[in-house]
Amino acid sequence: MISNKIVYSIMAGLIALFLIVLMVLPNLGVEAGNDEFSYETKLFNDKKVTTINIEINEEDWADILENPTEEEFKEAAVTINGKKIENVAVRTKGNSSLTSVANSDSNRYSLKIDFDYYDSTQSFYGLKKLNLNNNFSDTTQMKEYMSYEMMESMGLAAPEHSYMYVTVNGEDYGLMLGVEVVDETFLAKNYGSNDGFLFKPDGTGSDLKYISSDIEDYSGLNPKTNEDNLDQSNILDMIDVINNGGDIEKYIDVDNMLRYFATNTALVSMDSYQGMMKHNYYLYEEDGQFSIIPWDYNMAFGGFGMGGMMMPEGMAPSEFSKKDKPDMPSGEMQLPEGQEMPEGFKGKNMLDGLTNEEIMTDEAINFDIYNPVQGTTLEDRPLLNALLENEEYLAKYEKYLEEVSTKYFTEENVSSITKEVSATILTYVEADPSKLGTTEQFLEGVSGENSLAAFAGARSDSILKQLSGELVIEKNATKEDPVADNNAEPKEFPQNQSTQDGSGQSEKPEGMNPPEGFDPSNMPEGMNPPKGFIPDTMPEGMGPGQMRDAGENVDPVSSMKSLALTLGSLFILLLAIFGVKKFNRRGLR
C-alpha cells in the first residue's frame, strides 16, 4: 500500500496546483476578455486628447468634401495614438449638422470611421465603429461630453466618449468628440450579451403611440439587430401596454427609464423623445424587457428650441451636394404668408451655435419637471406619460431628479469637470483651424456667469424648488415663455401636470402649436419634413448601466468566463482527489 504520507503529499501538490490555476488562469481569462473591450482605455482617455490621422487618397477626400451629403464610404488608413490600421472606411455623418456645414464655407463635418466595413474581423481593440462629432451648434464644445458624464453618473449605460484631434493626410482637421457607436459591441460590453433587439427610433412610430398590431406600420422604429426575427420581439406588446394599460414592468425596465428621463429633463435635452422630433434614443430589449440608451447631446442645456435654433435635426435639405447646392436664403427662414415659425425657432444660423448667454434663459432654467416635453404633449409621448401618471414611479422620478440635482448636476461638480476638460483640450481648441466658435466662447463655457456650471447651478436650484413646491411652472395663454409662480400652492402628486385642462387633456406648450392653417407642404422647396414625419397633434441599482463602476473596466462577459474556468478547475481538482483516494485503497502489489 502507498503510505498516507505519499497520499497526503500528492493531495497537497494538487491543492497547490489548483490554487495556482485559480489565481493565474482566471486573470488571464479576464485580461483576454478585457482585450475584447480594451478600447475603453486605449482609445477613450479623459486625461489626454487622442490623436487620429486619416490617410486617404486625395481624390477620395476631395470627393467627400464636394459631396458630403451623399455620406459615401471611402477606403483609408487611420493611425490612432501611433497604431496604424489599414483598410478602414471613412464617411461624413449627420442630419441638420451635415447639411448646415454643407451650405456654409466650412468643411468641418462629423465623420464616421468603420473599422470592419471591408473586413468583418477587424476592429480597434474591440471597437468596430467610431463617430467623430464636430460639436455642431455648441460653442462650449462640452455639452455632449458633459451630458454623457451625467448619464453615467446616474447609472445609465452610455457610449464611451473623449476628445480626439484629427488630421487628414497630416493636415489639421480639428478637435472632435469621439463617441462610441451603439452596436453589438456596446451591447455585449454593457449588457453581457448582444442577443436582444436594438432599435433606434426616428420617424413614424418613434413617439411609441399605438398605431396597429402590424410592425410594418411602425417604419420609424429602425431595428438595428435581429432584423429578420422581429416577430420574436415584444416591441408591439410594449407599445400596447404603455398606451392602453397593462403590466408595464413586464416590458419596461422602469428604474432605467426613470433614471434616463430624470437626467434628460435636468439637462433640458429636447432634441430627444421628449421633444417634437421624438428621436435620439435607443431601445434595447433583453429577455422581453426594454431599457433606454441615451444618444446625441450637442443640443442639451436648452439648446433645442429654447430660443435659438433654426431648423430641427432631420428637417434640413439633404438632396444635393456641396458642389451644386442651391442658394440658401440668408437671415431668418421665410415661411409662406400668414404662417409663423413656432416660438423658440428663431431664424438663427445653427452653424454659429448658441452663444453662452443664450443658454441662461428662464425658459431653459425653469423647464417644467412635471410636464417635461417641448413642442408636444405628454399624451403624445406615451412612454413618459405612462411612467409619470403612476404615483409610485413619479415618486422615484422625483427621487432621481433630486439625486442628479444635488450630487452630479451641481455648479461645483460641473465646474470641476469643465475645468479638467479645459486643462486637457485648451491648446487643441486654440490650434483647431475649423472650430465653429471661438476660443473665447469656449472659455466662457468653462467658468463665469454664463458657463455650463452656472447653468447647472441655476437649473438644479429650479428643480429642487419645483420638487418642494416653492416654484410652480405655469403656462400663459400667450406666446410668452413659461412663468415661474413663486407664490403658487405646491402641486399635489401625481395629478400635477401643469398643462392639463378640465378634460384631462394636456395642451401643447405655448408657442409650439402650428400656426392656424399651417400646411407643411407649403414649406420652402427642400425644407419639407422628412418622409414619415407627422407633426404631433430589474431591482433598483441593478440596471445594465450599473454593471460596472465608473472607475472600473469590469467586463461581464469576462467575469462569466472566469467563473466558468474557476468551476471547471475545481471540478478537475475533485476528480483528481477522488482518483488518488481510489488508487490508495487498491494499493500497489
Q: Report the alpha-carbon distance of residue 89 to residue 80 in Å, rounded.
A: 14
Alpha helices in 137-268 (DSSP H): 143-153, 184-191, 235-244, 248-251, 254-266
- Helix pair 556-586, 4-36: axis angle to 10 deg: 160
CB 53 within 8 A of CB 132: no
Residues 427 and 567 occupy one common structural domain: no
Number of domains in the chain: 2
- What would the grid cell of residue 138 be? 455648441
How large a percentage of the chain has pLDDT more than 70? 66
Mean pLDDT by 10 residues, the chain (589 residues): 60 63 43 67 96 99 98 99 98 91 94 98 98 96 99 99 99 99 98 97 98 98 97 98 98 99 99 97 98 98 69 39 40 42 45 66 97 98 99 99 99 99 99 96 97 99 99 62 46 40 40 43 41 39 39 40 57 62 52
Report the chain's C-alpha Rg in angstroms. Answer: 27
Neighbours of 12 (CB within 10 A): 10
φ and ψ at 86, to 5 degrees?
-90, 165
Instruction: Kindly report the length of the chain.
Output: 589
Q: Is 580 domain-assigned? A: yes
Q: Are 207 and 278 in contact (CB under 8 A)?
A: yes
Residues 562 and 31: their CA atoms lie apart, in Å, by 10
How far apart, in whole angstroms, are the C-alpha atoms of residue 36 and residue 293?
A: 21
Residue written as cell 420574436?
232
Does a structural domain hold residue 280? yes
Nearest to 85 by CA among 40, 49, 48, 118: 118
- 566 shares a domain with 424: no
- DSSP label of 533: -
Buried b or exposed e, range 536-566, using 16+ CB within 10 angstroms: bebeeeebbbbbbeeeeeebbbbbebbeebb
Within this chain, do residues 432 and 564 fall inside the same structural domain, yes or no?
no
Q: Is 63 helix (H, G, I), strand (E, B) or coil?
A: helix
Q: Residues 540, 559: one domain?
A: no
- Looking at the structure, do residues 574 and 485 belong to the same domain, yes or no? no
Is 231 domain-assigned? no
Residues 317 and 268 in one domain: yes
H or E element at residue 61: helix 58-66
Structure confidence at residue 337 (pLDDT): 46
Q: Do 560 and 436 share a structural domain? A: no
Residue 59: strand, helix, or coil: helix
Indicate whether 70 belongs to any domain. Answer: no
Angstrom distance (rounded) from CA 296 to CA 145: 10
463 CB-side CA count, 13 A: 29
Q: What is the pLDDT of residue 305?
A: 77
Domain span at residue 491?
248-326+354-546
In this prediction, residue 234 carries a pLDDT of 98
Residue 110 lies in a domain: no
SS3 564: helix
Nine-digit cell at 279? 428621436
Beta carbons of 222 and 551 less than 8 angstroms apart: no
Maximum Cα interatomic distance, the chain, rounded to a whole number of Å: 110
Question: Are the beta carbons of 381 and 273 closer than 8 angstroms?
Answer: yes
Q: Any idea which residue has 447631446 for its cell?
A: 297
Q: Which residues contact 499 (CB under 8 A, 6 or more apart)?
A: 371, 377, 475, 506, 507, 508, 509
**573 and 483 share a domain?**
no
122 assigned to some structural domain: no
Other CB atoms closer than 10 Å to residue 567's CB: what's the count?
10
Kindly state whether residues 393 and 450 are assigned to the same domain: yes
* Separation of alpha carbons 553 and 135, rounded Å: 27
Secondary structure letter of residue 348 according to DSSP: -
Q: Do 365 and 453 share a structural domain?
A: yes
* 526 and 378 in a common domain: yes
For the chain, first and last CA: distance in Å?
A: 8
- Is 307 found in the same domain as 448? yes
pTM of the model: 0.74
Whether residue 155 is contained in a domain is answered as no
pLDDT at 476: 42
DSSP structural state of residue 529 = P
Residue 321 lies in a domain: yes
C-alpha grid cell for residue 453? 456650471
